[in-house]
Amino acid sequence: MYELSGDALGLLFHRRPLRRTRLPARPGKTQHAKVPGKTQGKKKQAVIDQACCSRFLRERELFSEPAQSARNSSEQFVELTRIRRTMLVVLGAVLTVGGCTSGTADKADGTAGGTAGGAPATPAAGPAATLMMDDITAVFENGATVPQYAYITDLHDGCGYTAGWVGFCSQSGDMLGLVKSYNAVAPHNVLAKYTAVLQRLADSGSEDTGALGEAFVRDWKKAALDPAFRRLQIKVGHATYLTPAMKLSAQEGVKSALGLENLFDTGLMMGQASGDCDGMVKIAQETDKVLGGNPASGVNEAKWLARFNAVRQQHMKHPCTPDRKNDWPQAVDRSQALQELADHGEWDLKAPLTVSADFKISISKPQD
């Protein structure tokens, strides 16, 4: 079994677009897909406001350009695209061989900062908790209780086709990486014939979906019926977001499954790299500064997590990430829902679990 180290993953996904953020469905209203750093509102058959349409986030995928002026250079962007594309191919090969550690591995070390009125000092990311985290992602992304592997649409947000559990994008190259991984496992799969076109789209950073055509949509849905393709979607999603979240949880001393879910969701939606100005690392650093420490240094985890969510919500309301000013402020209920779980003592993420705020969806049987 081969593993991708946290550092390797950092290089791999350093500059991908942040994930989309999808607004939860509201009674009597059409749900709009919300796009965090990359194009986040991935799975709802959402009505996309053209005014907000620049959500190139789909952290989902790996091509986020958080608002740093140095990144505004087209030459640097092209170079980063080349690097990212190369690393995605490496990821595909590694995942095919047997690859990423997610969910059951890399459990945080250290002791949580006390349990009085807060999170238990137990390891995060056991198999059951990981399944629940995947399903919470499905709630936030699609208003569903299980990952939506067959989802695919053109959100007209700069990402081309956005598809799968976490919204792989044809423009950014992560969809290409996933398909190449699938080719290695099943050379004659229904998506293999699109590899060259996906390569061209990734090389040019094109959001054009015309070359793939409507047949690609049908074939993606067919591929989603294959258990091997579904497993690869989970592996790539975990390698991209859960593994970096586990690394950060170990550094911060976050021990509960719910604490890890907060980091995972923040990284997935707002960026997992240290350079993401609204990302999980930045928010954790700001939380540590306000509290004068973290659970690893003795701060109560419940107190730390409440502050983390408060800081996250401020970033969502006033993001420095380009093109997120219209959609992220409307998606704060994502963070609010996670904080409500903490307020109700759901630290272990055990079923049945109700994701509240504006979602109000119950997960009775966690599954991928």
Length of the chain: 368
Count Cβ neighbours within 10 Å for each residue of 329-362 and write b for 16 or more, e otherwise.
Answer: ebbbbbbbbbbbbbeeebbbbeeebbbbbbbebe
Can you read off the two tokens belonging to residue 60?
A: 């989902």
Mean pLDDT on 328-332? 89
Asked if pLDDT for residue 31 goes beyond 60, the answer is: no
Q: Tell me how far the alpha carbon of residue 336 is from its chain's centroid.
A: 17
d(CA 209, CA 154): 8
Asked if pLDDT for residue 251 goes beyond 60, the answer is: yes
d(CA 63, CA 157): 13
Residues 6+ apart with CB under 8 A from 280: 244, 245, 248, 263, 266, 267, 270, 271, 272
Q: What is the dihedral of CA 20, 24, 26, 30, to 10 degrees?
A: 30
Q: What is the pLDDT of residue 360?
A: 95
d(CA 321, CA 273): 13
Rounded to 5°, the CA angle 146-150-154 comes to 120
Q: What is the pLDDT of residue 38?
A: 45
pLDDT digits (tens, 9 = 90+) for 154-199: 988 777 998 998 888 898 788 998 999 999 999 999 999 999 999 9
Rg (CA), the chain: 19
Is residue 132 within 8 Å of 351, Cβ to Cβ?
Answer: yes
Q: What is the pLDDT of residue 318?
A: 96
Can you read off the two tokens belonging to residue 231?
A: 């497993």
Asked if pLDDT for residue 19 goes beyond 80, the answer is: no
239 closest CA partner among 124, 105, 48, 66? 105
In this structure, are strands 152-154 and 161-163 parallel, antiparallel, or unpaired?
antiparallel
pLDDT digits (tens, 9 = 90+) for 298-323: 999 999 999 999 999 999 999 998 77
Can you read off the two tokens belonging to residue 49?
A: 């406001």
Q: Is 210 exposed, middle or buried (0-12, 13-18, 19+ CB in 10 A)?
A: exposed
Mean pLDDT on 353-363? 96
Half-sphere exposure of 219 (CA within 13 A, CB side): 15
Other Cβ atoms less than 10 A from the Cβ of 288: the count is 19
> Strands of 161-163's sheet, edge to edge?
152-154, 161-163, 168-169
Mean pLDDT of the chain: 75
Catalytic residues: 141, 157
d(CA 143, CA 47): 14
Half-sphere exposure of 114 (CA within 13 A, CB side): 12
Ranges assigned E (strand) in the chain: 152-154, 161-163, 168-169, 353-355, 361-363
Which structural domains are found in the chain, ordered by start?
Answer: 6-104+147-229 (3.30.386.10), 127-137+238-363 (1.20.141.10)
d(CA 265, CA 337): 11
